[in-house]
A = this chain, B = another copy of it.
C-alpha cells in the first residue's frame, strides 16, 4: 500500500529536510559537531539553496543551532536537558492522553488497534530497526491523536524527536524492549476501557523507563565535544 494517489513530488528542500532530520535524530552526526555545508551538499545531492532552507527549518525546530556567521552545528547533549525533555513528555503526554480518552470515538479506537497491530508485526523482524521505530512513533501518535489539541500534539511530536536523539544513543536492549512492548498492549486495553488514571500511570512508567535507559547511556561519556 503506497501513500497518496496523486502524490505530487515534494520539492528538494522538503526532501533534504526530512532525511537530514532523520539523520540528526538517529545520531549520524556527533553532538556539538559543526556541519560542513558543502559536504552536506555533496552527500544529499542537493543545491545550496534548498539545503540552506532545510537547515533553517531544522534550526527553528530545535534540531540544529545556527551561530551568527558561523553556520550550523548539532546541539550539544546534556543530561539535564534529557531530564527536562523526559519530564515534559510525561506532563504533556499524560495531559493529551486524558483528553484523548475523553474525546476518542470508535474510529480512534480502530486506529489505535491498527497501529498496535503494525507495531507487533514490526517486532517480528528485529533486524529492521527503523521499521519498528516508525511503527512505535505512529502507535504513540495514534494513542493521543484524538486529544483535540493541535498545538499539544505538535509540542509532543517535537519533544519526542528530541528525546529520540538521546534514546538512540543507547544500544538496543531486548529485555527493556520486552517490557515496553507489554506496556503498549496494556495501553491499548486501557484505551478501550477508558481507564484514564491507570493509563496515565502506565504512560508515566513507560516514558520513565525509556528515560532511565537513555540516562544510563548518556551519563558515562562525560560531555560531547569532538572538533
Contacts and interface: CB of A to CB of B under 8 A. Distances in A.
Interface of A: 8, 10-11, 13-14, 49, 52-54, 56-62, 68-69, 81, 84-85, 87-88, 91, 95, 148-152, 154-155, 159, 162
Given A53-B56, A56-B57, A151 B84 contact: yes
A81 B11 contact: no
A61 B61 CA distance: 7
Contact of A60 (B60, B69, B91, B159): B60
16 contacts: A8-B68, A11-B69, A13-B56, A49-B49, A52-B53, A53-B53, A56-B56, A58-B60, A60-B60, A62-B154, A84-B151, A85-B151, A87-B149, A88-B149, A88-B152, A151-B162
Nearest to A84: B149
Contacts of A81: 150
A119 B68 CA distance: 31
Contacts of A52: 49, 53
A125 to B, nearest CB: 33
Contacts of A84: 148-152
Interface of A is mostly: helix
Contact of A61 (B10, B11, B60, B91): B60
A47 B13 CA distance: 18
A90 to B, nearest CB: 11
A128 B69 CA distance: 34
Contacts of A57: 56-57, 59-60
A155 B152 CA distance: 10
Nearest to A87: B149
A77 to B, nearest CB: 13
Nearest to A81: B150
A66 to B, nearest CB: 8
A178 to B, nearest CB: 30
Residue of A8, A59, A68, A149 with most chain B CB atoms under a 10 A cut-off:
A149
